[in-house]
Amino acid sequence: MGPFDWQEKKIEVGDFDLLNGEFAHIVQCSLPCMAVHFAGPATDAALPPAWKAGVEMVRHEQKGVWDSTEKDTLYLPLWAADDLAGVAVLEGCSEDMQGFSAVQLYEKSQQISREMRLLKQSFLDSVTGLLNGKALVSRLRRLQGEVVSEERKAVFSLLLVELYPRASDARKALESFKKAAAFLASLVGHLATPCHLGSSIFGLIWEGVDEKEALRTADLLLRWLKRENFPRGHIGITASDIEPPEADRGELFFEQAWKALEVARKRSPFALCSYRFVSNSCAHPLNPVADAVKAGLKKLWGKSDAFGLVQLHVDKDELGERSEAAWSADVGENPSFAIEGGDRLIFLEGKKKEEVLAWCSEVSQALSEKGVAVSMGVALYPCKAVRKSDMSGNCQRAMLHTAFYGPGSITVFDAVSLNISGDVYYNEGDLASAVGEYRRGLLFDPDNVNVMNSLGVTYANMSRYAEAVTQFEEVLAREEKNFMALYNLGFACLAMSDREKGLHYLERAHQAGDGNFDLFFQLGKLYCQNGRYLEALNVLKLGEKLGPKTASDVSHGAVYRYLGEAYRGVGEKEKAMTSLQRAVRYNPGDGTALSMLGEVYGEAKEGDEIALSLCRQSVELDSGQGDNWLRLGNVLMQQGDLEGAMSSFEKGLECDKDNARIFFSLGKVNEKMGKSAVAVKMFRGALKLEPKYKDALSALKGVKVA
């Protein structure tokens, strides 16, 4: 089987969103009506109440039905081969149609379904089996119309995900594309249907998801890509609420996301960027003040040894045009500057902290009595680790800080302000700027463990693991049971290939806190790798409860692969089979789960053909994984194909020269073929890599050298 997939694909629920316009056109060409809507094959809570009875009747009776009250509304079944793919709701049907017999409606539904399946083939990518860029842009065009529509305002986010393949030739590159597609679909397929645009660039439209939620989920996605050993990953994001379009073309959103992706690509190996960062239409809360304001402030503080700077923001204004007069009266003779966004900067010469805060309270009270509610961010000079040129920026940071306390608050710039401004940059994917903020925060307050943790996490996301480890160790020197430091230090050690230390710190994190899915999953994975299967089961069962049952995390199905391995390790092969089957259902492109399932089928004598087929699928999906070749070889050896097993083990060793289990299996197959001397060499090779490998020690003692 080659890397291309030419098979006809069934219609799936996600197709009704991405290909909505094209499918509606097919229906209307065959059955003239005013409008067409689609429902999936299963119960949908979002279905309009007026349609529920008709849609449910089609699902149960598998035939077209007319609405009992709206005589011109038809509910028509759509077919994925022999199974129900969905229901078309046709409104405003012509009078001629209303006389159609049940047989005529059935024939029409079959014809429409065939045309839909054929149309879908033209929108498919032959490498990944996903829908292509043409489908993505088609949906964007329709959403664009809804964004500018006065009747309905669409809310959605568009993500472009770029996953670099690690490949030495074209075949391996195509395998990487397929693996990335399957992995992405398993992680975020519950949110949107991924489309492959070519060269391992994927597009996703998340409807009903705003920019803030898209950024949060994209950050989780990047973390999972790192955990699965993708070499690089970048995400560009735009959203319908960032820059409303003027031109009626769906490509506009694509261009915005692409610009954001280009910025993300320059930031770090794993980074994201929102179009808000690159758009001139949205002022950033930490943009420098205008040059004219800088010059005015510089003149004022040039010879001053002590002063305060206050940024004043209006939360509520009942004076309207008279606000300027009120401000002028209450600010008094203190110099003030209007800045972008409508805020003001007020310079208070020679005032210390207590005097500045007293002045702020008086002004706030005076303005409140006139119907104007204000918040204030305060920066003071002199101040530790602060230059005069930092002052206007520090006011902005104090304003971000004061927003946490609600309208009418007054906050003085401190290390927490820098932690918050660092988080703003971090959430945008601008990790380099986030590092700058956190490092300034530590200059301001060297013992702030929250800032240390934030800085360490940012270093880790930039793959600067040694610096990350230093920060987490600094936290633990102050708080030895700090959950976040233990948790993050564990993952940093794993990224540096120090599995023993990583496990040590993750176990300490488990003891220190309640834990989360990520922690339970990683502990289970490590316990499996160390052969501690009973401990693996305990933590993976905790992870199973937190992960795949909700859409709050991008963790669908990953836990079941290791649950299968753990159950197999404790001898519960039936449960192992069930878990691995679930893993494959979540991610049909999970080569490791496929090969494990094949090996378990072989051991349980559930069918030689199935076992061999699953293991062969795994190496077709990912031929660069030594363990996949190992399991295929074990199944072949079990079935008596010693030559085939030998070939598989040798290919596995080419992929992973430090795999003791492959050396052991090569020893066993050579022993079965009567090549005792070679078998001894292989067993010794396994023991060189793992001196305490019990099976290899036992096999070496038992081999009979001719």
The answer to whether 232 and 244 have CB atoms below 8 angstroms apart is: no
Residue 329, pLDDT score: 58
When pLDDT is averaged across residues 414-439 and rounded to a whole number, the result is 92
Lowest-confidence region among 110-124, 248-262, 546-560, 664-678: 546-560
| Distance between first and last Cα of the chain | 42
Q: How many CB atoms lie within 10 A of CB 47?
A: 16
Percent of the chain with pLDDT over 90: 48
Q: What token pair was written down for 41?
A: 């094959």
Domains belonging to the chain, first-starting first, are: 15-122 (3.30.450.40), 131-278 (3.30.70.270), 291-413 (3.30.70.270), 425-512 (1.25.40.10)
Q: What secondary structure, in 3-state letters, does 341-380 show? A: CCCEEEEEECCCHHHHHHHHHHHHHHHHHCCEEEEEEEEE
pLDDT at 552 over 70: no
Cα 136 to Cα 350, 408, 439: the distances in Å are 60, 45, 41
Tell me what pLDDT residue 550 has. Answer: 42
pLDDT at 153: 62
Q: Token pair for residue 92? A: 């405003």
Q: What is the pLDDT of residues 375-411, one digit of tens each?
A: 999 999 998 888 999 999 999 999 999 988 988 899 9
What is the dihedral sign for C-alpha 245, 247, 252, 253?
positive
Of 17-26, 221-230, 528-537, 662-671, minimum mean pLDDT range: 221-230
Digit-coded pLDDT (tens) for 243-280: 766 555 667 888 899 999 999 998 888 889 999 888 86
CA separation for the pair 618, 628 (Å, rounded): 6
* Out of 78-87, 91-100, 137-146, least confident range: 137-146
* Phi, psi dihedral angles at 493 (to 5 degrees): -65, -40
For residue 50, the model assigns a pLDDT of 85
**Cα separations (Å) of 236 from 72, 165, 270, 462, 699?**
45, 18, 12, 17, 53
- Whether the pLDDT of residue 186 is over 80: the answer is no
Mean pLDDT of the chain: 87
Residue 32 CA to its chain's centroid (Å): 42
Q: Which two tokens stand for residue 392?
A: 């206007």
Of the candidates 652, 592, 638, the residue with the CA atom closest to the CA atom of residue 617: 592
pLDDT in tens, 515-524: 788 899 899 9
Which residues are CB-contacts of 113 (< 8 A; sequence separation ≥ 6)?
11, 78, 79, 80, 85
Residues 6+ apart with CB under 8 A from 557: 186, 548, 582, 583, 585, 586, 587, 590
Residues 58-91: tens digit of each pLDDT: 988 889 999 888 888 999 999 987 788 899 999 9
Question: What's the confidence (pLDDT) of residue 69?
Answer: 83
Q: Is the pLDDT of residue 321 over 70?
A: no
Measure the CA–CA gap between 138 and 230, rounded to whole angstroms: 30
- Residues 448-486: tens digit of each pLDDT: 999 999 999 999 988 899 999 999 999 999 999 999 999
Instruction: Report the C-alpha gap between 679 and 637 in whole angstroms.
Output: 15
- pTM of the predicted model, to two decimals? 0.76
Residue carrying the six token digits 């206007």:
392
Asked if 194 and 203 touch (Cβ cutoff 8 Å), the reply is yes
> What one-letter code names the amino acid at 668?
K
Least-confidence region, from 1-10, 122-131, 309-318, 498-507: 1-10
Q: Which residues pair with 91 in a beta bridge?
A: 35
Quote the CA–CA distance of 283 and 285 in Å, as a whole number.
Answer: 6
Quick check: helix, strand or coil at residue 465?
Answer: helix
Q: What's the rounded Cα separation, in Å, for the pair 555 and 571?
A: 26
CA distances from 384 to 380, 412, 442, 676 (A): 10, 13, 11, 74
- Whether the pLDDT of residue 511 is over 50: the answer is yes
Q: What is the largest CA-CA distance in the chain?
A: 105
Per-residue pLDDT band for 212 (boundaries 50, 70, 90) equals confident
Note whether 98 and 72 are within 8 A (CB). Answer: yes
